Amino acid sequence: MIKSVRMKISGRVQHVGYRYFAIKEAGKYQVNGWVKNEPDGSVLVEAEAEEQNLDFFILSLKKGPGWARVDQLNIQPIPFVGYKGFGVKY
């Protein structure tokens, strides 16, 4: 079953390669959606995938790339959009 979520990730998640890490991990787990830096220093992600793949993707985002520090990751379910691929949103 495909799940769709919006995640807000807070901590040291900008200027550490977090968005590009998210793209790499999305490819690994066949996740579709987007990632975006927010003005408040957080990162916003919308993601859709099979439930197990999405769970693995979320675990990866909780760790982040080497220079990142994830203090908080909030998840909320959203309606299915039908994204094709995964990229950076500006």
Per-residue model confidence as pLDDT tens digits over 49-80: 999 999 999 999 999 999 999 999 999 999 99
The residue from 6, 12, 32, 37 that is catalytic is 37
CA proximity to 37, closest of 69, 67, 61, 13: 13
Predicted local confidence at residue 81, as pLDDT: 97
Question: Is 37 one of the catalytic residues?
Answer: yes
CATH architecture under which domain 2-85 falls: 2-Layer Sandwich (3.30)
The residue from 6, 12, 19, 69 that is catalytic is 19
d(CA 16, CA 10): 13
Task: Kindly report the pTM of this predicted structure.
Answer: 0.96
Domain ranges of the chain: 2-85
Q: Count of alpha carbons within 13 Å of 33, Cβ hemisphere only?
A: 29
Predicted local confidence at residue 12, as pLDDT: 98
Residues 5-20 have pLDDT tens digits of: 999 999 999 999 999 9
